[in-house]
Amino acid sequence: MSFLTLKDVSFQYPNGFKAVNQVNMSFERGEAVAIIGQNGAGKTTTVKMMNGLQKPTEGDVLVDGWNTKDYTTAQISRKVGYVFQNPDDQIFHNDVYSEIEFGPKNLGLSPEQVEENVMKSAELAGVVPFLKENPYNLPYSMRKFVTIASVIAMNSSVIILDEPTAGQDLKALERLSNLIKTLNDEGKTVITITHDIEFVVHHFERVIVMANQQVIADANKREIFWDFDILEKAMLKQPHISRLSNSLKIDGDILEITELTERLKRKTAKV
Amino acid sequence: MSMITIKNLSYQYPIVETDVLHDINISIEKGEFYAVIGSNGAGKTTFCNVIRGFIPHFYKGDLRGEILIEGKDIRDWELGDLSQKIGYVFQNPFTQISGVKETVFEEIAFGLENLGLEVEIIKEKVENVLKMLEIEYLQEKNPFELSGGQKQRVALASIIVMEPDILVIDEPTSQLDPQGTEEVFKIIELMKNKGKTIILVEHKMELIAEYADRIILMQDGKVVKQGLTKDILSDEDTLQYGSALPQYALFGIEMRNQNMDLGSIPLTEKQSISVVQQWMKKEGLA
């Protein structure tokens, strides 16, 4: 059985609004998965059900054999960590070190183990130079990395990143992709919500597309970004280089620059 | 006369020992669309805060050099007059929305009410903006019930309705999906077509390439490059300063590196299609 499974899951607010409608997903250990779709498609509510912040009103969420209905959010968060979309929803300490330390300390680890977890995750997230600073003196983009470090420090098997790419520059995006890769190599599952299609193209294989509170596709990125029906339903466009290849009628379901230049090179070789 | 002239501008926040802006020289011309780009921490938002007069009127610190808005030094402007001349749209729409109004219509009217305009004139102006931004369907909603994308558009509307000559917009699309992002850029273009001067902080290079006239590239508090969009974003050297380039420019550069020079570096999809088709013809591929 998969490590994390959502079975016919719905979430309905007391006012009757269904934020998630009959969703099925499953994730294995060590996977990197991107979830994309419009604002309001149901992405955040779906992932909040994975770590028990929300409990499904229909269906079941199973984490490593646990049904989230039978456990508290604190218990589930040892297995599934969630980094909020807005870092300010999460930060409550006066210095970065204490902020990162809070989670592992509460797990009841030895002081040495806590320190090791804090330093390792701070390094991965690139926040070591700021450990003594007040998180609110750091820019938004860096505060986001502080919250990522504090979730990684919990050493959970699954880590969910909610729009980590928002407002990030080139270097930060590189740091983010290295971080995801390192976590995957350690056997951890990383689920990332993002609007940055180019980031998905460069760093993920499996992509889940949500639209109107449902999953409309769950496949390899190449299948997704060349399925015009799915893209239209999700109000998404192809990645830039795919669009260009499509306009130039160059086949091969191209996603990246080097694929396109390779194709063009092969064409010139034939002439 | 330039709309804004900046000479030898340096700035230090209170308490801090080092300059966050160093020796900036720039002139902003009327009706042009400027994109301010560069890595996080380069000083982009601080630069915007100087232009809109928040520095020195609100934040203290040590401001040196000359900043002229329509020829008048920023220190001599009243902040109230300046805020009618320059509209500022926050990075985070939650910061912008007043929280004291119950409908989107009232929210957008809020600034005009404070100017003491006649009710009929306010109504007319708000209705025009609602129509222009295609958000009439939101007018009766509570601003806090809106989605992130809708909020970002209402925040823009509440500034546009004031009809400032200069719009300073700080990362308006950071939380938006691709379609919402495109809509915001269309609104900004509409403003440019009305003769407004636009200063936009943004990371999305493909859209900047499509819409902006000129680029201001910042790094470590300095303006390291400024000039026409087509020059700055087609230059591989720009990458060295921590900025990205549009995918289309990177494609053009890769073609050149692979000995398949397209003749020029394209910045947009349209330009790419055209230069590749010409190149294919020349190579006997089409």
Q: Which of B204, B240, B276 to mutate to test the interface with A (most CBs of A within 10 A)?
A: B276
Q: What is the CATH number of the domain that holds B57?
A: 3.40.50.300
**Is 80 exceeded by the pLDDT of residue B147?**
no
Q: Based on the domain organization, do B251 and B135 belong to the same domain?
A: no
Q: Provide mean pLDDT across the span B13-26.
A: 88
Interface contact flag, B40 A268, Cβ < 8 Å: no
- pLDDT range class, residue B29, cuts 50, 70, 90: very high
Q: Provide mean pLDDT across the span A196-218.
A: 97
Nearest CB to B177 within list A142, A167, A195: A195
Q: Provide mean pLDDT across the span B154-174.
A: 91
The nearest CA of chain A is from the CA of B123 a distance in Å of: 30
Q: Provide mean pLDDT across the span B51-69.
A: 87
Q: Based on the domain organization, do B190 and B257 belong to the same domain?
A: no
Q: Based on the domain organization, do B90 and B133 belong to the same domain?
A: yes
Q: Based on the domain organization, do B229 and B259 belong to the same domain?
A: no
Q: Domain spans of chain A?
A: 4-237, 238-271
Residues of chain B with C-beta less than 8 angstroms from the C-beta of A247? 269, 273
Interface contact flag, B247 A267, Cβ < 8 Å: no
| Residues listed for chain A | 271
Interface check B253 vs A, CB under 8 A? no
Q: Based on the domain organization, do B24 and B78 belong to the same domain?
A: yes
A221-234 pLDDT, tens per residue? 999 999 999 999 99
**Is 80 exceeded by the pLDDT of residue B161?**
yes
A179-193: string of b/e by CB count within 10 Å (b at 16+)?
bbeebbeeebbbbbb
Average pLDDT, chain B: 91
B3-28: string of b/e by CB count within 10 Å (b at 16+)?
bbbbeebbbbbeeeeebbbbebebeb
Chain-centre distance of CA A60, in angstroms?
21
- Answer yes or no: are the C-beta atoms of B205 and B38 closer than 8 Å: no
- pLDDT range class, residue A15, cuts 50, 70, 90: confident
Nearest CB to B251 within list A38, A39, A257: A257
pLDDT at B282: 93
Q: Provide mean pLDDT across the span B210-228.
A: 97
Q: Which residues, in sequence order, are CB contacts of A201 under 8 Å at separation 6+?
A: A221, A225, A239, A255, A256
pLDDT at B140: 94
**Is 90 exceeded by the pLDDT of residue B55?**
no
**Is 80 exceeded by the pLDDT of residue B15?**
no
**Is 70 exceeded by the pLDDT of residue B229?**
yes
pLDDT at B209: 97
pLDDT at B97: 73
**A-chain residue closest to B91, CA distance:** A167
pLDDT at B56: 79
Interface contact flag, A268 B180, Cβ < 8 Å: no
Other beta carbons less than 10 A from residue A97's beta carbon: 20
B72-122 pLDDT, tens per residue? 999 899 888 888 899 998 776 666 677 778 899 999 999 899 888 999 999
Q: Based on the domain organization, do B149 and B225 belong to the same domain?
A: yes
Q: Based on the domain organization, do B52 and B21 belong to the same domain?
A: yes
Nearest CB to A264 within list B38, B248, B260: B260
Residues above pLDDT 70, as percent of chain A: 100
Closest-CA residue to A99 (of A159, A165, A27, A150): A150
**Is 70 exceeded by the pLDDT of residue B40?**
yes
Mean pLDDT lowest among A35-39, A198-202, B57-61, B207-211: B57-61
Q: What is the C-alpha to C-alpha distance for residues B25 and A61, in angstroms, rounded to an integer?
A: 58
Residues of chain A with C-beta less than 8 angstroms from the C-beta of B248? 240, 244
Give the range of the structural domain holding residue B206, as residue numbers without chain letter: 4-245
Q: Provide mean pLDDT across the span A139-155.
A: 93
Q: Based on the domain organization, do B134 and B186 belong to the same domain?
A: yes
Provide the 8-state DSSP code for A72. Answer: -
A17-70 pLDDT, tens per residue? 899 999 999 999 999 999 999 988 999 999 999 999 999 999 999 999 999 999
Q: Based on the domain organization, do B200 and B67 belong to the same domain?
A: yes
Q: Provide mean pLDDT across the span A136-165.
A: 94
CATH class of the domain at A4-237? alpha beta
Chain-centre distance of CA A22, in angstroms?
21
Q: Provide mean pLDDT across the span A244-265.
A: 96
Other beta carbons less than 10 A from residue A67's beta carbon: 13
Q: Based on the domain organization, do B68 and B82 belong to the same domain?
A: yes
Q: Based on the domain organization, do B139 and B61 belong to the same domain?
A: yes
Q: Provide mean pLDDT across the span A71-90.
A: 91
Q: Which of A104-108, B82-86, B197-201 has the highest mean pLDDT?
A: B197-201
Cα separations (Å) of B51 from A182, A203, B1, B38, B168? 42, 38, 17, 17, 8
Q: Provide mean pLDDT across the span A69-93.
A: 91
Q: Based on the domain organization, do B260 and B131 belong to the same domain?
A: no
pLDDT at A187: 96
The nearest CA of chain B is from the CA of A170 a distance in Å of: 6
ipTM, interface predicted TM-score of the complex: 0.91
Q: Which of B251, B255, B257, B282 to mutate to test the interface with A (most CBs of A within 10 A)?
A: B251
Q: What is the C-alpha to C-alpha distance for residues B45 and B176, in angstroms, rounded to an integer?
A: 19
Question: What total number of domains does chain B contain?
Answer: 2
